[in-house]
Structure 1
Amino acid sequence: MDTNEDSPHIRAQLEDEGSVLNSNLFLEHVGEVSLTLNSDGLSWKLLESLHNEKDGLSCLGIKFISKSETEIKFSDVYAVEFINWGLIHESVLSNAGGCLIRHESEMYRFTVHGVQRSKTRPSLLVLAVYTFGHKDLQMCHMWVNRINALLKMETGRPKSLLVFVHPLSGKGSGCRTWQTVAPIFSHAKVKTKVIVTQRAGHAFDVMASISNEELNSHDGVIAVEFERRIMLSVQLGYLVLFTNDLCVE
């Protein structure tokens, strides 16, 4: 059986409900959730929260109050991958007292990689990783395929970027900063052409002399550890500036 194809009952569910897909899966460090996919992104809600709302479960006299629905937009997702069989760590309610206990199970898994704004520092982008699991291999493949299909439909996603790295800026951490963030672009299947600048004005000279053909082959420019004035020399769709703790688009 080809596990990379959606099963007939899954395809029927998608056709009946339009672009909406819903399944019960396990979320790493959370527990069993109801995961929903639509054209905008993913959202999930802890199933035990749904039960608590109905049954009023409590622990040590404290009633559990369900948390608001959690979600991630496809515009904030840069990759999804199947990671095969392994452990999923859960937080679940015990049958006896309704108190939280830790539990782990083995199952097939897939991971959604994205970014989110820091709650304390909105200018800072924080990596977000969500690992979901299910005993059914085909179920996980179906979710990965469906998410990838919708990611490909997202407009404005870069496929090729020109990268300038200033090795001596600040504390001389330009190359180290790029080495930290480079795997993100590799994971997102974005090609990068990296130029480590050798002198002041090097990046400006490259941008001034680059041919239109090569310029049009890139979707944007990344400047690592540069002063903000470099932004004045860029005429592409957007520029991303990386420093030690800041990512500005």
Structure 2
Amino acid sequence: MRNVGKFGLLAAAAVAGTLTVGACSNTSAEHDMSSMGSSQTSAASAPSTSSGQSAQAHNDADVAFAQGMIPHHQQAVEMSDMLLGKQGIDPKVVTLANQIKAAQGPEIEKMQGWLTDWGVPTTASPEMSNMPGMPNMSGMPGHDMSGMGGGGMMSQQDMAALQNAQGAEASRLFLTQMIEHHKGAITMARTEVDGGQFPAATEMARSIITSQQQEIDSMNAMLAAM
């Protein structure tokens, strides 16, 4: 009987020891997991904070620039596509149309991305849907378009005329229209350079001023040679 009692005491001690070790082990594990969770939460929140700061680094002029320039670029691409679908177009004009598409297509995507990041719509106002090809930018700080002929945008009649033109006539009409179109874009870009805050937007605006002025000079030379 004494042996049985001694065995029972030893067994009880062993169980108690196991429970004590398990409890310590669980406490340690919980501590480690808590630490890991805190670290992961901190790491996950860092990009969000950075993104929030980036989204705030813009002003109304930047928004107006992107919202106005997107449809402006889209129309330039549409005009280029019209021309490239025709026969008998001056090779130099074809090269210019392809150049315009190559430059302005990626810029459209960049500006759409900015507006998405800023949480604002990609169009400036509902009126734009009633005025094909003409960005309505009235009421936006620093963007009074009343004296700018719609920022150089072509009307429905202008677009129809280009669509119906053929050969040399289409080449001349495209150049004439695109010169005015580029002038409007340059004016809009200068407004962004003067009042914008978002570095990438002001950088794009400066690029537009330089590249489109060069294209205007080239188009005037092409027209003079026709």
TM-score, normalising length: structure 1? 0.26
- Which of structures 1 and 2 has the bigger CA Rg? 2
Comparing both chains, which one has the higher relative contact order based on Cα–Cα distances under 8 Å and sequence gaps of 6 or more? 2
Comparing both structures, which one devotes a greater share of its residues to strand? 1
TM-score, normalising length: structure 2? 0.27
Comparing both structures, which one devotes a greater share of its residues to helix? 2
